[in-house]
Amino acid sequence: MTIQHALATVAGGFIFPFLIRLLWGKLVDNFGTFGGWMAAAFIVGTTWAINHGTGLIVQSEGGAWVDMAFAAGFGLLVASVVRGGNASKAMPNVLAAIVGGILGGLILSLYL
C-alpha cells in the first residue's frame, strides 16, 4: 500500500464518523424517528458509496478487512474523549462489541 492509499483510507475512515457526529442528531431533532431513518439512509449510504464505490478506502490483498463500523465506533469514541468525555464509561460497550465481533466472525467462518 502506498502512502497515497494510506492517506485516502484514513480520510475515508474520517468522513463517516464526522458526518454522523455533525448531522445525525440534527436530523433526529428536526424530524424525529423519520430523521433517524433519513440519517441512516443518507449518511451511511453516501459514505459507503464514496468509500467503497469510488475506492477511497483501499484494502490490500491479504490484509485485515475492516469495514465502516470500526471507523464509526472508533471515530465517535475519540470525538467524545476529545470533547471531555470519559472513555472508561464506554469500555463495557467496547468490550461487548469486540466479543460480538469475534462471535460473529466465528459463526460466519463455520458457514462460509
User: Which pLDDT belongs to residue 26?
Assistant: 95
Condensed to tens digits (0 to 9), the pLDDT of residues 25-73 reads 999 999 999 999 999 999 989 988 888 888 788 776 655 556 677 788 8
Residue 111's pLDDT band (cuts 50, 70, 90): confident
From the list 58, 76, 60, the residue with the least C-alpha distance to 7 is 58
> What distance in Å separates the CA atoms of residue 33 and residue 9, rounded to the nearest whole number?
32
How many Cα atoms sit within 13 Å of 29 on the Cβ side? 5
Q: Where are the domains of the chain?
A: 3-111
User: Which pLDDT belongs to residue 38?
Assistant: 94
Predicted TM-score of the model (pTM): 0.72
Least confident of 4-18, 26-40, 84-98: 84-98
User: Which pLDDT belongs to residue 63?
Assistant: 53
Condensed to tens digits (0 to 9), the pLDDT of residues 71-89 reads 888 888 888 888 887 888 8
